[in-house]
Amino acid sequence: MASPFSLSGLLRVRHAQQKQAMAELAAANNRVGEIAERRASVEHTLEGAVGNKSVVTDAATLNAIAAARASTRGMLTELDAIAAQHRASADLAQAEFNAARARSIALEKLETRHAEAAAAEDLRVEQIALDEIASIAHTRGSASPPAVAPAASSSGSPAVPPSGSPAVSPSGSPA
């Protein structure tokens, strides 16, 4: 059995940091989207006021319309500034997420290499055990007494062919 990955605690911390950076990035992107929606709404209001074809009959109404348009344009300028801040914040959050992801990836690669090395070590140990078992079985098999060849005589001298028949060599040709 291989040892556990020694940096697993740090990897969990890196994953937690990555999740936190991801949440901050999502919140920043959400703020950018909300500001874009507010700006679109204000812009629509301004276009509606400009497109209004009502006839202005007095100076007070004309001044009120001009003030409203100026106020709306000022609001658009403020929203643009806020949107720029939120985009900068989102860009920073994206950079932090990318950095957190890079730190996690480095540890994940180390963990993968560790797992591969551990698996190779387990296979090596298993192969050694199998080789040892095979060696023991082979040693026990060769320790048994040799079988007696049927052509050998009980006195231990080589078998002599009966007279009249030619002697045959091991290759099968007459000797």
CA–CA separation, 94 and 100 (whole Å)? 10
83-135 tens-digit pLDDT = 999 999 999 999 999 999 999 999 999 999 999 999 999 999 999 999 999 99
The structural domains of the chain, ordered by start, are 8-142 (1.10.287.1700)
For 82, the token pair is 């806020």
pTM: 0.59
pLDDT at residue 74 above 70?
yes
